[in-house]
Structure 1
């Protein structure tokens, strides 16, 4: 890595510290606010300079798409697993398509069993009674197979939903965990249903459940 200016080193420390505290990198606006910049453009310019010097990697199109290339021996960051955070899923797009990603979140690789492959930002309250709330990060193990009774990320047509899976032969029910939401009935002989993964945990405000 090329030598950094004092200001670049300060921004790199800020990005690293905020990432380790919250589990995900800051936005340009957050960096600008912390550093006292008048605009997010100043933060962007410094980040591009850090990327050019090999200190960070930037994912285009993601507001939190900043990854510190940490070379410190034995550092905490070096032991963390970096999971993509999926926001609203575009119709028909693969769940991990770049346009769906909000950034990355770092977790201990032993935090979830089986191991999580991505985090899905929860929208709505249909799974409220299972302890899955609006804004939570649902940890998902990527698999196409799921047992009846498991909470799954399912794709039905162009829609992706989080529900509890019930399977009886060709009949599948996607059950909400909130009486205000009706179950979704699927006949596999007529409709295509794809399992995008099974839920293995929840992160809320930096805490796991």
Structure 2
């Protein structure tokens, strides 16, 4: 691990044309500490790695994992995905005030259209979507019968993930966990689909 991190930090110094002192300031450590990382005598803490990654808009894997090519080329293969928190009424979906963080996805595996992320809360969609999982959502205002969608119900400012089924004039929001009853939305209730769930990832 020390050797991989050392090699990646050397690449970062070269690609961004900075020295160890400048990297130390970014990471919030001393220059001698960075020197130890480069010389494979110490391993940076996750907090320092996160600061470096955030400063250069890179995922932490660029520092922690072995790479076959240079950092700039790899960075161009990823896109920064905004994670929506509470959704401000009347604001565009991806307005800055709605975003609480970011994660990264390979560009070649992304669907067309606008995409964003949600963090699953609770176990109503387990085992399909575990609590705490990152869910990639494609922005759209409708889904096919039985697909999982991010929806806003009754003016709530936080999206929920459920399977959407239509029954007459009503809409059923179905949990994958059988311990949860369906939510029935009648035509008089405020309801909005904001996107379709595309992919689920969960950090270990």
TM-score by length of 1: 0.63
Q: 1:30 aligns with which of 47, 68, 72?
A: 47
Residues 1:177 and 1:91: Cα distance change in structure 2 (over 3 Å):
farther
Q: 2:88, 2:97 within 8 Å by CA — same for their partners in 1?
A: no
> In structure 1, what is the equivalent of residue 83 of structure 2?
85
**8 A Cα contact 2:151 2:191, kept in partner:** yes
Structure 2 unaligned regions, length at least 5: 1-15, 29-45, 59-69
How many residues align? The count is 159
Output the TM-score relative to the length of structure 2: 0.64
Q: For residue 148 of structure 1, report the CA deviation from its aligned partner.
A: 1.2
1:172/1:96 CA distance change after superposition, 3 Å: same
Of 125, 134, 140 in structure 2, the residue corresponding to residue 127 of structure 1 is 125
**Alignment check: 8 A CA contact 1:154 1:162 kept:** yes
Deviation string 1:141-198 (CA, Å, 9 cap, x unpaired) is 111121111100011123221100001342100111112212110112x122111100
Larger helix fraction of residues: 2
SS in structure 2 at match of 1:110? helix
Q: Which runs of no fewer than 5 residues in structure 1 stay unpaired?
A: 15-28, 36-42, 48-55, 57-63
- 202 and 73 in structure 1: CA distance in 2 versus 1, 3 angstrom threshold: closer
Cα distance between partner residues in 2 of 1:194 and 1:186:
11
